[in-house]
Every structure is written in C-alpha cells, then in structure tokens.
Amino acid sequence: MATREKYRLELNNVPDERLREQLEVVDDFLVENPYARFKGRVFELTFTAAATNYRVLHNLKRTPKDAWMTYITPDSGGVWITFNWDEFDTEYFDVTVNGACTVRVMVGYFEEPRS
C-alpha cells in the first residue's frame, strides 16, 4: 500500500500544542480527501451544433487520466458528450457531442502518493 507521508504537513516544530492539534485535523482531512489530490481544470464548452473530435487545449503538461461532465444544458434534448480517450495527449483532450449544448467538464488526474 502506498504511503501517505508525502501529503503530511510537517507539524513537529509547531510549538503551540493547541494549534498543532488543529493543524493535525486539517492535515487528516486533506490526506483523506481524494479531491485535494486532483490536478486539473474545469472547462465550459459551448457547441452550436454537433461536433466530432473537438480538441481542447488543457495546459496540464501530461495526459489526463480522468474526465467527467458536471453539467449539460438542461434543455439540450438528449444531447450527449463522449470523451474520446484515445485522442487525449499531453496538450489536448478530445470530445464529441451530438448536438448544440453547453457542457462543463473536469479534466485532469489524481496525483498518486509515492510508495
């Protein structure tokens, strides 16, 4: 199992015991919360028509491993988005939509603890 020490705050030198205890609570939360390790961006994309293999510059400097839609226009009438995983690279992610819509997507990766 991977160690979580990489994510721990160095608290040994905090002289105030009460402050150190409070910081330990914050530290535990950050280690246990996987979203604290998410490295990525949120994009809002607006399409006026269907689009195939639409490439979006992500500026992450590595290939994203995770992507999910967080919003699609409520009145989009059955429009869907597909992440074209085979087209993801260190500069772009790629999507296909079957009609006009506005979508928000999160694209990035979860930083893994060192083992």
Q: Are residues 64 and 53 in the same domain?
A: yes
Residue 4 within any structural domain of the chain: no
Q: Are residues 104 and 62 in the same domain?
A: yes
Q: How far apart are CA 67 and CA 81, in angstroms?
A: 11
Q: Are residues 17 and 70 in the same domain?
A: no
Residue 20 within any structural domain of the chain: yes
Query: pLDDT truncated to tens, each residue of the chain (115 aa)?
Result: 344 455 577 888 888 889 989 998 888 877 777 677 788 999 999 999 999 999 999 999 999 999 999 999 878 788 999 999 999 999 999 999 999 999 999 999 987 754 4
E-only strand ranges, the chain: 38-47, 51-57, 66-72, 81-83, 92-97, 101-110
Residue 77 within any structural domain of the chain: yes
Q: Are residues 43 and 58 in the same domain?
A: yes
Residue 2 within any structural domain of the chain: no
Backbone angles phi, psi at 46, to 5 degrees: -115, 125
Q: Is the pTM of this model over 0.85?
A: no
Q: Are residues 54 and 101 in the same domain?
A: yes
Q: Count up the domains in the chain and report the number.
A: 2
Q: Are residues 106 and 57 in the same domain?
A: yes
Q: Which residue range is the domain that position 71 belongs to? A: 37-110
Q: Are residues 45 and 22 in the same domain?
A: no
* Tokens read off for 67: 């992507």
Q: Are residues 83 and 47 in the same domain?
A: yes
